[in-house]
Amino acid sequence: MAFCLTEEQAMIQTMARDFAREVVLPGAAQRDRDKIFPRDILSQMGELGFMGMMVPETYGGAAVDMVSYVLALTEIAYGCASTAVVMSVHNSICCEAFLHFGAEEQKQQWLPAMCSGQCIGAFALTEPHAGSDPASQRTIAVADGDEWVLNGSKQFITTGKNAGLVIVTALTDRSKRHRGISAFIVPQGTPGMVVGKEEDKLGLRASDTVQLAFEDCRIPLDNMLGKPGEGFKIAMTCLDSGRIGIAAQSIGVAQACLDESIAYMHEREAFGHPLSDFQGLRWKVADMAVEIEAARLLALSAASLKDLGKRYGQEASMAKLYASEMVNRVTGQAIQIHGGYGYCAEYPMERHYRDARVFTIYEGTSEIQRLVISNNILGPSMMR
Ligand code: COS
Cβ atoms of 157 and 217 within 8 Å: the answer is no
The band of 285, judged by pLDDT with boundaries at 50, 70 and 90, is: very high
Cα→Cα distances 315→133, 283, 300, 323, Å: 21, 29, 10, 12
Q: What is the pLDDT of residues 212-261, one digit of tens each?
A: 999 999 999 999 999 999 999 999 999 999 999 999 999 999 999 999 99
| Ligand 1 centroid distance, CA of 116 (Å) | 31
Which residue, by CA, sits nearest to atom 14 of ligand 1? 233
Which is nearest to 85 in space by CA: 211, 212, 245?
245
Instruction: Tell me if 157 sits within 8 A of 212, measured CB to CB.
Output: yes
pTM metric for this prediction? 0.97
**What's the pLDDT at 226?**
98
CA distance 352 to 356: 6
CB-based contacts of 183, cutoff 8 Å, min separation 6 = 97, 101, 167, 168, 169, 224, 225, 226, 230, 231, 234, 235
Residue with the smallest CA separation from ligand 1 atom 16 is 179
Cα–ligand 1 centroid distance for 87 (angstroms): 23
- Integer Cα distance of 136 and 355 in angstroms: 29
Predicted pLDDT of residue 2: 67
Helix (H) or strand (E) holding 107: helix 104-115
Q: Which residue's C-alpha comes closest to atom 36 of ligand 1?
A: 133
Percent of the chain whose predicted confidence (pLDDT) is above 90: 98
Distance, CA of 342 to CA of 316 (rounded, Å):
32
Cβ of residue 30 lying under 6 Å from some atom of ligand 1: no
* Any atom of ligand 1 within 6 Å of the Cβ of 134: yes
pLDDT tens for residues 78-119? 999 999 999 999 999 999 999 999 999 999 999 999 999 999
3-state DSSP assignment of residue 199: coil
* Model pLDDT for residues 175-213, shown as the tens digit of each residue: 999 999 999 999 999 999 999 999 999 999 999 999 999
Catalytic positions, please?
363
Ligand 1 and 136: CB distance under 6 A:
no
pLDDT interval class at 384 (50, 70, 90): low
Cα of 154 from ligand 1 centre, angstroms: 18
